Amino acid sequence: MHLSAPSSSCPEEHPFAPFVRTLGRGRRGARSLEREEARTALGMILDGEADPLQTGAFLMLLRVKEETAEEIAGFVQAARERAQLPEAPIIVDLDWPTYAGKRQQPPWYLLSALLLAAHGHRVLMHGCEPHARNRLFAAQALPALGIAPARDWQEVREALDTRRFAYAPLALFSPGLQALLNLRHLFGLRSPVNTFVRHMNPLAAPATMHSLQHPAYAVLHAGAARQLGQPRALIFRGEGGECELRPNADSRCILLEGDAQRETGFTRQLRERGDAAIVPDVALLPALWNGRTEDAYGEAAVIGTAAAALLALGGANDADAALALARDYWRRRGPWPGDTP
């Protein structure tokens, strides 16, 4: 077999290639990225300096390896540096990321956020466009409740001032991350973007919550929140990956308070497992709020999730006190806060 001499026109190595090589050298040669490397790599992707093939390879190699707290912190830093944020600060108490979508049970967590807002807490919820089939995302559910996603930061400001609740689409402040999430139909699975986008906290709220589907990710999210300097954060396994406490299961939580970290948790409120076949019907939300229907699971999920949020906010010192306060909130919830009855 005759081998020809190497071509003198062989292209130079692409500037992004070292990041793919670092992750893809194999079981012994590969390593995780340092925080600054992660920041640079995602910055190049968001700036359009990486080839689409490189972007796909990079994200899937990360998926197989699994992200580190340093990588998440670097990715979030790069995304925040390019985020389209309001010129003047907007005050918000609680940052509420929602990126999983509900496949079973209605999105009870929306009632929890509105319950907090009804009692004076300014809540910013942010999430993505629907990018997975057979899941109901907040962006789809809120309009059916008479709550329109904000189209710009002025609408966010006005919603927080009038209702103390606003929903900001990811595309409003980071269209590049939304574009990366939209690649799911090409990959057939989620990418690391689904993990680190939850840490964006676009308005720098002092408190935030993070939900996860796999318990092992709790330590990862806690480490990333610490590296990002988040003052307060509650991390727990939520229903379907959303920040929604499961009332039929014990919930272990990690609570970050400045430099301190402690484990806490909520004991199950219901012995029944609940009907997994219940579809996420949005109409059940105002019906439960207004007392037109009874749903033990839904009410417990709303109260439990509100309690978790109160723990994140520092409105209660422990889970029992948070639950007691959340139950009081629910008893005094007032009229439906949306624009539909």
Residue pointed to by tokens 């690649």: 183
Q: For residue 13, how many C-alpha atoms fall within 13 Å in the half-sphere facing its CB?
A: 7
**List of residues 6+ apart from 299 with CB closer than 8 A:** 288, 330
| Alpha helices (H) along 153-270 | 153-162, 170-173, 175-181, 184-187, 193-196, 217-227
Cα angle 140, 142, 144; round to 5: 80
For residues 207 and 129, give the distance between their C-alpha atoms in angstroms, rounded to a whole number: 24
Task: Report pTM.
Answer: 0.93
Tokens of 77: 């830093």
Q: What is the mean pLDDT of each run of 10 residues along the chain (341 residues)?
A: 61 95 90 97 98 97 95 98 97 97 93 98 96 87 94 98 97 98 91 95 98 83 96 95 94 94 94 66 94 94 98 96 98 85 49
For residues 128 and 57, give the distance between their C-alpha atoms in angstroms, rounded to a whole number: 23
Residue-level pLDDT at 276? 56
Residue-level pLDDT at 214? 75
Residue-level pLDDT at 277? 55
Whether 221 and 212 have beta carbons less than 8 Å apart is answered as yes
Phi and psi (nearest 5°) for 97? Answer: -75, 140
Percent helix, percent strand, percent coil in the chain, to nearest 5: 45, 15, 45
Residue-level pLDDT at 130? 86
**Virtual torsion, Cα 118, 85, 51, 27, nearest 10 deg:** -60
DSSP 101-159: -BSSS--THHHHHHHHHHTT--EEEEE----STT-B-HHHHHHHTT-PPPSSHHHHHHH
For residues 234 and 319, give the distance between their C-alpha atoms in angstroms, rounded to a whole number: 12
Residue-level pLDDT at 179? 97
